[in-house]
Structure 1
Amino acid sequence: MGVADRKEREKVEMRRQILAAAQKLFLEQGYEKTSIRNIAEVIEYSAGTIYLYFKDKNEILFALHVDAFNALMHAMQAGIGVETDPFERLISLGKSYLKYAFENPELYDLMFVMTAPMETLECRDEIWCDGERAFNTLKLVVGDCMQAGYFAGENVETVSVMMWSLVHGLATLHLRRRTMIFPEERRIQLLEEVYDRFVEMVKTYKRK
């Protein structure tokens, strides 16, 4: 391995360490209470080292969001890529979303649950860019379902928010440990069953 390649790998690894430490602190003590110095202490480097990679903690949060949403979008695309029927794509999209949330609880918390100033996400014109990209994917699938006769007379945005609210609610109930009233081996299974029942009800929206 050449010197340039080694240095590049070291830079990538340092960036990974910074993001991992920041994510941990953001979730444990909150975004506002976390400082660059706190992050530096976790990785045992100087604060100056972090500034070589990120200009401030806003940029760190933005990087975490971008990486997390890229992973979510990959999971969503994988979920709908194998289905040809539009309604089956919608079902798979919801299942992929839940699977991502259950398997990546800390990332999901950072993306959708953790309280942090939205201006830190560097959104243009007050638009939550990463969230909009994921939501537009859902809207496209819902629109295809409408073309196939589902959700007759409904608005594509309204139906999309309804679907998103359901899967987000199920994911958040679990990740915020509100399902602890049920036996551990039953918790995720129960949420998956709720989603399946919801899908059955949604099927009644199909035009005869």
Structure 2
Amino acid sequence: MVPKNRKERPKEDLRKQILDAAKVVFKQEGFEATSIRKIASAIGYSPTTIYLYYKDKSEIIHALHTEGFALLNSRFSVLAMVEHPFERLKAMGRIYMQFAMEHSDFYEVMFIMREPVDYLANYCQNEEWMEGSTAFYALLQSVEACMAEGYFKNYEPIQMVMVIWAFMHGLCTMKIVGHLDQIATNKSQLPDPGTLMEDTFQAFVRLIESTQ
């Protein structure tokens, strides 16, 4: 049903509705099967209206990519209150997991789907990707601060950033796509399947902490 007051909606409100609808359609049908017409239909508008805001679905998914990183970076902003660098790094991991669970639609666009990366490669080669860079350098700065305290001996900062990111991404992705729950359900030797994600995270924390 098309809302009666749709003509009165501010442009930014309509832009948000387009992105919210696109998130749902992309997640349900995948990028290739999604069309501007399907996104428009989800909010009760014509495709022509969508084209007033975005030239194609690639630009829409790039906008979602950007919005997701802005939201993640806003979550990371509270880390400035955590004084000890290793505690700050652990808190960053927890925020990352929480974000992935609460915003799995954004997470898939940001870290699983290839299309946003293709967009950056094709259209943003000469521009700095501020949102992604902000998240990356927040992790790098925390790692470097930990190294100043004696952690991660014999490793380069970028090496540890990639190890930590790869682990956290793998853990969150396994949870989102259902692999982690499948393991928890079918492996009776697990002490507590309900805490598998938390237990795995804690094991990783102990592992990297032992590098001090």
Q: Report TM bin, short chain.
A: 0.7 to 0.9
Distance 1:103 1:57, change over 3 A: same
Structure 1 stretches of at least 4 aligned residues deviating more than 4 Å after TM superposition: 6-9, 125-129
User: What displacement does 1:89 show?
Assistant: 0.7
| Alignment-mate amino acid for residue 47 of structure 2 | A
Q: Who is 2:55 aligned against?
A: 55
Q: After superposition, what is the alpha-carbon deviation per residue over 1:93-112, rounded to whole angstroms, capped at 9, x for unaligned? A: 11110111111111111111
TM-score, reference length from structure 2: 0.84
User: What displacement does 1:12 show?
Assistant: 2.3
User: What displacement does 1:16 show?
Assistant: 1.6
Q: After superposition, what is the alpha-carbon deviation per residue over 1:106-145, rounded to whole angstroms, capped at 9, x for unaligned? A: 1111111123262324432497654333111101110111
Distance 1:126 1:52, change over 3 A: closer
The number of residues matched between the two structures is 198
- Comparing 166-175 with 18-27, greater Cα deviation is found at 18-27
Alignment map for 1:152-171 (pairs within 5 Å): 152-171=153-172
Structure 2's unaligned 5+ residue stretches are 1-5, 186-191
Backbone CA RMSD of aligned residues: 2.3
TM-score, reference length from structure 1: 0.85
Q: Is the 8 A contact 1:30 1:115 kept in 2?
A: no
Alignment partners' CA distance in 1, 2:60 and 2:138: 26
Q: Who is 2:142 aligned against?
A: 141
% identical aligned pairs: 38
Q: Who is 1:179 aligned against?
A: 180
Q: Is the 8 A contact 2:35 2:57 kept in 1?
A: yes
Q: Who is 2:206 aligned against?
A: 200
Q: Is the 8 A contact 2:110 2:116 kept in 1?
A: no
Name the SS for the 1:54 alignment partner: coil
Q: Who is 2:196 aligned against?
A: 190
Structure 1's unaligned 5+ residue stretches are 1-5
Distance 1:8 1:45, change over 3 A: closer
